[in-house]
Chain A
Amino acid sequence: MKVPMSWLRRYLETAADAEAIAAALTRLGLEVEGISNPAEALRPFTIARVLTAAPHPQADRLQVLAVDTGAGEAVQVVCGAPNARAGLVGVFAPPGTHVPGSDLTLKVAAIRGVESRGMMCSARELGLGEDHEGIIALPEDAPVGVPYARWAGFDDPVIEVAVTPNRQDCMGIFGIARDLAAAGLGTLRTPQVPALEARFPCPVRVAIADADGCPAFFARALCGVRNGPSPRWLKDLLEKAGLRPVSALVDVTNYFAIGLGRPLHVYDIAKLEGGLVARRARAGETLHALNGRTYTLDETMCVIADEVAVHDIGGIMGGMASGVSEATTDVLVEAAWFNPARIGATGRALGITSDARARFERGVDPAFVGPGLEMAVAMMRALCGGEVSEAVHVGQPPALDRVIAFDPATTRRLSGLDVPAAEQRALLERLGFAVGDDWAVGVPSWRRDVEGPADLVEEVVRLVGLDRLASVPLPRAAGVARPVATPGQLLERRVRRALAARGLAEAVTWSFIAEAEAEAFGGGAHRLVNPLSAELAVMRPSLLPGLASAAARNMARGERSVRLFELGRRYLAEGERVTAGLLLAGEAAPRHWKTGKARAFDAFDAKAAVLAALAAAGAPVERLSVRQPGPAWYHPGRSAELLLGKAVLGVFGELHPARCGDLGAVAAAEVFLDVVPASRGKRTAFQPSALMPVRRDFAFLVPATLAAETLLRAVEAADRVLIAEVELFDRFTGPGVPEGQVSLAVGVTLQPRAKTLAEADLAQVSAAIEAAAAKVGAVLRG
């Protein structure tokens, strides 16, 4: 809300300047968004009198003036204005002045051989209008030497205030003045309510059919008006506050809305058909509103209508048809009270923001409906003439009879601030609260936001000033701080750092993706009703679509190798699941003198990353099994799930080419962190064997369809005591290996514990390994 200082001063007697007022507003919780003063640019322009005007010796159209600027010696100015003459009082700019209307800076210059030390200005040169016929001519008695803007009343800073949604009372400048006065910045001037002499009954019948939407509809008619432009002072105030003056009757309604937070509406009685009623709109009814747009209404909305048509979206915007014009002679002035919730809903549904809505939505003072009407009608009559009808009061605004039992000790308990009870009482009373001897605090009608003791504490605290609030340490537990991270949080941290340590960059991508992307990766379970775009419409069932899009963007920027991961949630029908997703695209290794050609990523890169992540998470990776293939969005032959028992801890593989566009071979994986069992973290005793380990190699022929893991598990199980490690070190097909078979070479490490292994022991273990392998279809190569 724009608050011109001159308007504020109508309600607040104060010596404070705009800066002091702004600082106080900030302390009070009325956020100052800025201070502007149109006079700033006109600061150097002063009032000056032309003493003499002589013809220029070299130019017919120019004159040489001697100007009294009030600074002593007369200044010589060359001037081309036809109205320049001795005795004229005008506006002078000295050299060095920036002239806003022509955007140039004055210099001492010789004009046709005669020195000119400044300029007498036109209105256009000051940026104050288009008048460039001549220089500004002021009244004879305008004070020479005084800054022109101050004298002309332009020097009026405007403070832009952002009023929080709870402060209904500060939606009028008067309410802001009341806060400032309470904070000690001046004396509040409360406008008087005039006594109106009614000459006749109200000629328009007024009724309420929607008492929920419009509990009160007060009105008076003013007949025989002459509606024309407002006086200069009113136009100036409205313009400074950012409003466009329209006509005196309309300007008065705006003056009350902005000045006193009391929106009003005026109807041209000649354009009404019968009486007015506040009722629910009928579905499909339309109104051509004052902003030039036509709105289609429904039965949730409260409107003011006559017997034929809707004339006002109650409390939001009036209609064009019954609006006042210069030809208007008889008007009905409406002061109503509309249901704030209904106003908000209607305003949002229709997408209308207006000064009236902003006020009714917060709730206007229910005790000021009648007085506001009286004051406005009186002002209209003063400006436009006419005779006043009797007042019609239909319904009653819901009164705010709120009394809060308050203990002044609550202020210290909640805020930590020590404010003596007497001071608290005085502060609250200055804000209009009625404080009883027993500390029963009556809430003023304009503060429906104040509901309980905590609100009163806030009132006291903001008037006292939060700068008085001292810092008090929170009590601290003895000793060093205890660890507070949960196992899940620790797990996430470890996985994040493990993946980053492996060379992957952590990304954060949108939680919502396009429907088609979700469909390609398992299907979305949660759809946004009101997405920003089709690309951000479905909660992701997988982290991979987001990472794949990110990889594509990076490749398009020329990246040759993309390694990305993200820790975030998947949003499934059964709930939100914390997941680590990773995606590898482009080159796994670049071409290099040492390693040769570039290598593309494959499924085993993803598998290695997943195992590293799971190991970091504390999962027993040695006990995981592989189940091929993975979900449909992976390569059917190059993907798998990683299981611990029956639980799927992760999925990895190459992405299905149909699901990842032009990215080429893409390896990806997801680790389901919420399924990873909590690491026991128990340390076992260190028991190294004193005996040398023994290594033996075995080469087996196995069916090509046999999973290598099956053979390795079988070999491990051949002797649980002696066999410490089994590694697959070669896999071969080709000459010497029958069709449909593959040669797998396995290295076995035997760790004796009690005694050195004899040949017989070794033979026994070897036989057991061969037998175990044979059971899964593996034959020892001869």
Chain B
Amino acid sequence: MSEDADALRARFLAELDRAETAEAVEAVRVAALGKSGAVTALLKSLGGLAPDERIRVAPVFQALRDALANAVEQKKGVLAAAALEARLAAERLDMSLPVPPEPLGSIHPISRVMDELAEIFADLGFAVAEGPEIEDDWHNFTALNIPPEHPARAMHDTFYIGGDGAGRVLRTHTSPVQIRTMTGGRPPIRIIAPGRVYRSDSDATHTPMFHQVEGLVIDRDTHMGQLRWTLETFVKAFFGVDDVVLRLRPSFFPFTEPSVEVDVGCSWEGGRLQIGGSGSWLEILGAGMVHPKVIANCGLDPAAWQGFAFGCGIDRLAMLKYGMTDLRAFFDADLRWLRHHGFGALDVPTLSGGIGA
């Protein structure tokens, strides 16, 4: 009987070896291991054998069954792998084909710089304050110690808004936010106020609308040395330059006393501006100690509270840092310009990731 088993093994293995399709493998399996298969018949025959004989041949028959079953599975696997390989080969595509374009959005440099300012000054404890752009005369001028006859109030500088409730202007600076902050809350105060401002001016370097940021610190004993430190700290962080030298020059603004204009040391190597050193000077902002009259106009006692304010052009900061040359392009919404000078949506300025370019 075991001779039969050897013959069957050899026969079916040979048939399996010749099988080239899944159907052929299945036919071999049915012929060997199916209900009426030859190996199944052998196993069935065990029942009729004498116990001694059964004990002897049963393992042989069972081993034959297992070997053939394994061989069938293995052959099926080989054929399936070959079939998959053939299918995949047929599915080949040209991977050099271009993908559909996805539009790239961008953040305007002004927004970027405002975010940078907020990030830097937040670290110094400054909040971001806001105020209306259509202002009344008192907040834009009077409270800031700009008297009615001051030339800044003249038609050629200020846009006036018509209609009822006369005395409304488009704010000419962000300084009225100082007034709103001081009248709206109690010191100590540390704020910056970025935003749109308007002047009746239009030429190569002026646009009738532009952006300023105002800074205000009011406390018991805030002084000009702290103003200098604040501005130095800001300029270093903003331009990402450690070797920053500031030059403070006495100047005049109606709302500060003493007043200073602040120059930053720079160089112009190869016609390109580099912040740092003290080879040349570039005027970047105006500042000073808040005028006692302004503090009093806000209902605070100038003998008890004092502090500094500063203001500078955001568009100009952006130009100095990122190298744009034409202010008017900021407001033209030319997609070529926005793509070139804009910032990615995920490019968020952070202190840990860096504020610099």
Classify chain B: how many residues form its interface, as a range.
35 or more
A561–B334 touching, CB < 8 Å: no
A485–B334 touching, CB < 8 Å: no
B97–A593 touching, CB < 8 Å: yes
**Cα-based distance from A559 to B338 in the complex (angstroms):** 13
**Secondary structure call for the B interface:** mixed
Asked whether any CB of chain B lies closer than 8 Å to the CB of A504, the reply is yes
* B128 proximity list for chain A (CB < 8 A): 484-486, 489
A26–B249 touching, CB < 8 Å: yes
B347 to chain A, nearest CB (A): 9
Most chain A beta-carbon contacts within 10 A, residue among B97, B133, B345? B345
B202 to chain A, nearest CB (A): 6
Could you say which of B21-29, B49-57, B74-82, B253-261 contacts chain A? B253-261
B330–A508 touching, CB < 8 Å: yes
Asked whether any CB of chain B lies closer than 8 Å to the CB of A413, the reply is yes
A531–B159 touching, CB < 8 Å: yes
- Indicate which residue in B208, B291, B348 contacts A454 across the interface (CB closer than 8 Å): B291
B125–A462 touching, CB < 8 Å: no
List CB contacts (< 8 Å) of B252-306 with chain A. Answer: 252, 257-261, 289, 291-292, 306
A458–B202 touching, CB < 8 Å: no
Asked whether any CB of chain A lies closer than 8 Å to the CB of B101, the reply is yes
B49 to chain A, nearest CB (A): 51
- Indicate which residue in B102, B127, B163 contacts A527 across the interface (CB closer than 8 Å): B163
Q: Taking A506-B108, A506-B111 as contacts, is the C-beta distance between A500 and B161 under 8 angstroms?
A: no
Asked whether any CB of chain B lies closer than 8 Å to the CB of A150, the reply is no
Q: Taking A484-B127, A484-B128, A500-B105 as contacts, is the C-beta distance between A416 and B226 under 8 angstroms?
A: yes
Asked whether any CB of chain A lies closer than 8 Å to the CB of B151, the reply is yes
* B209 proximity list for chain A (CB < 8 A): 510-512
A506–B342 touching, CB < 8 Å: yes
Asked whether any CB of chain B lies closer than 8 Å to the CB of A457, the reply is yes
Asked whether any CB of chain B lies closer than 8 Å to the CB of A455, the reply is yes
A567–B111 touching, CB < 8 Å: yes
B127 to chain A, nearest CB (A): 4
Asked whether any CB of chain B lies closer than 8 Å to the CB of A13, the reply is no
Interface 1/0 per residue, B102-144 and A, CB below 8 Å: 1111111011000100100011111110001110000000000
Q: Taking A458-B258, A530-B155 as contacts, is the C-beta distance between A474 and B248 under 8 angstroms?
A: no
* B148 proximity list for chain A (CB < 8 A): 341
* B196 proximity list for chain A (CB < 8 A): 511, 568-569
* A539 proximity list for chain B (CB < 8 A): 134, 161
Asked whether any CB of chain A lies closer than 8 Å to the CB of B221, the reply is yes
List CB contacts (< 8 Å) of A539-581 with chain B. Answer: 539, 546-547, 550, 553-554, 557, 559, 561-564, 567-569, 571, 575-576
Asked whether any CB of chain B lies closer than 8 Å to the CB of A445, the reply is no
Could you say which of B7-15, B31-39, B175-183, B228-236 contacts chain A? B228-236
A762 to chain B, nearest CB (A): 38
Q: Taking A461-B224, A503-B105 as contacts, is the C-beta distance between A557 and B334 under 8 angstroms?
A: yes
Minimal Cβ-Cβ distance residue in A for B343: A500
Most chain A beta-carbon contacts within 10 A, residue among B105, B122, B155? B105
A484–B225 touching, CB < 8 Å: no
Asked whether any CB of chain B lies closer than 8 Å to the CB of A5, the reply is no
B228–A469 touching, CB < 8 Å: yes
* B159 proximity list for chain A (CB < 8 A): 528-531
Interface 1/0 per residue, B186-218 and A, CB below 8 Å: 000010000010101010000011000000010
**Cα-based distance from A508 to B341 in the complex (angstroms):** 13
B292–A481 touching, CB < 8 Å: no
Asked whether any CB of chain A lies closer than 8 Å to the CB of B223, the reply is yes
Asked whether any CB of chain A lies closer than 8 Å to the CB of B335, the reply is yes
List CB contacts (< 8 Å) of A477-532 with chain B. Answer: 477, 481-486, 489, 493, 496-512, 526-532
Asked whether any CB of chain B lies closer than 8 Å to the CB of A590, the reply is yes
* A498 proximity list for chain B (CB < 8 A): 345
A165–B105 touching, CB < 8 Å: no
* Interface residues on chain A, number (Cβ under 8 Å): 95
B133–A29 touching, CB < 8 Å: no
**Cα-based distance from A557 to B335 in the complex (angstroms):** 10
B122–A485 touching, CB < 8 Å: yes
A529–B225 touching, CB < 8 Å: no
Minimal Cβ-Cβ distance residue in A for B257: A454
A461–B258 touching, CB < 8 Å: yes
**Cα-based distance from A293 to B215 in the complex (angstroms):** 46
* A417 proximity list for chain B (CB < 8 A): 224-225
A679 to chain B, nearest CB (A): 19
* A571 proximity list for chain B (CB < 8 A): 133-134
Interface 1/0 per residue, A332-356 and B, CB below 8 Å: 0000000011001100100000000
Q: Taking A166-B252, A504-B105, A553-B332 as contacts, is the C-beta distance between A532 and B154 under 8 angstroms?
A: no
Asked whether any CB of chain A lies closer than 8 Å to the CB of B88, the reply is no
Minimal Cβ-Cβ distance residue in A for B289: A414
- Indicate which residue in B150, B200, B223, B291 contacts A472 across the interface (CB closer than 8 Å): B223
Asked whether any CB of chain B lies closer than 8 Å to the CB of A626, the reply is no
**Cα-based distance from A765 to B330 in the complex (angstroms):** 58
- Indicate which residue in B106, B306, B334 contacts A414 across the interface (CB closer than 8 Å): B306
List CB contacts (< 8 Å) of A234-293 with chain B. Answer: none
**Cα-based distance from A461 to B225 in the complex (angstroms):** 12
Asked whether any CB of chain B lies closer than 8 Å to the CB of A390, the reply is no
Asked whether any CB of chain B lies closer than 8 Å to the CB of A589, the reply is yes
Asked whether any CB of chain B lies closer than 8 Å to the CB of A164, the reply is yes
Asked whether any CB of chain B lies closer than 8 Å to the CB of A415, the reply is yes
B338 to chain A, nearest CB (A): 4
**Cα-based distance from A473 to B223 in the complex (angstroms):** 10
**Cα-based distance from A457 to B223 in the complex (angstroms):** 12
* B111 proximity list for chain A (CB < 8 A): 496, 506, 567
Asked whether any CB of chain B lies closer than 8 Å to the CB of A611, the reply is no
B338–A462 touching, CB < 8 Å: no
B176 to chain A, nearest CB (A): 13
A508–B333 touching, CB < 8 Å: yes
Asked whether any CB of chain A lies closer than 8 Å to the CB of B45, the reply is no
B257–A455 touching, CB < 8 Å: yes
Minimal Cβ-Cβ distance residue in B for A341: B149
Minimal Cβ-Cβ distance residue in A for B233: A473
List CB contacts (< 8 Å) of A734-758 with chain B. Answer: none
B193 to chain A, nearest CB (A): 12
Asked whether any CB of chain B lies closer than 8 Å to the CB of A31, the reply is yes
Q: Taking A29-B252, A510-B331 as contacts, is the C-beta distance between A505 and B342 under 8 angstroms?
A: yes
B333–A414 touching, CB < 8 Å: no
* B156 proximity list for chain A (CB < 8 A): 348
Asked whether any CB of chain A lies closer than 8 Å to the CB of B185, the reply is no
* B163 proximity list for chain A (CB < 8 A): 526-527
Most chain A beta-carbon contacts within 10 A, residue among B224, B230, B292, B342? B224
Minimal Cβ-Cβ distance residue in A for B248: A466
B46 to chain A, nearest CB (A): 46
A-B contact pairs, 27 of them (CB 8 A): A28-B250, A341-B147, A341-B148, A415-B289, A454-B291, A462-B258, A473-B229, A474-B190, A481-B122, A482-B125, A484-B118, A484-B128, A500-B105, A500-B345, A502-B103, A506-B342, A507-B333, A508-B330, A508-B333, A528-B160, A530-B155, A530-B159, A557-B334, A568-B196, A571-B133, A575-B132, A595-B100
| Extra A-B contacts (11), CB below 8 Å, given A415-B289, A526-B163 | A166-B252, A414-B224, A416-B225, A457-B289, A471-B225, A496-B107, A498-B345, A499-B105, A512-B209, A529-B162, A576-B132
Q: 10 tightest CB-CB pairs across the interface, nearest first?
A: A29-B250, A503-B103, A416-B225, A550-B333, A458-B258, A164-B252, A507-B333, A500-B345, A341-B149, A500-B105
A interface list, Cβ under 8 A from B:
26-29, 31, 164-167, 340-341, 344-345, 348, 412-417, 452-455, 457-458, 461-462, 466-467, 469-474, 476-477, 481-486, 489, 493, 496-512, 526-532, 536, 539, 546-547, 550, 553-554, 557, 559, 561-564, 567-569, 571, 575-576, 589-590, 592-595
B interface list, Cβ under 8 A from A:
97-108, 110-111, 115, 118, 122-128, 132-134, 147-151, 154-156, 159-163, 168, 170, 190, 196, 198, 200, 202, 208-209, 217, 221-226, 228-230, 232-233, 247-252, 257-261, 289, 291-292, 306, 330-336, 338-339, 342, 344-346, 348
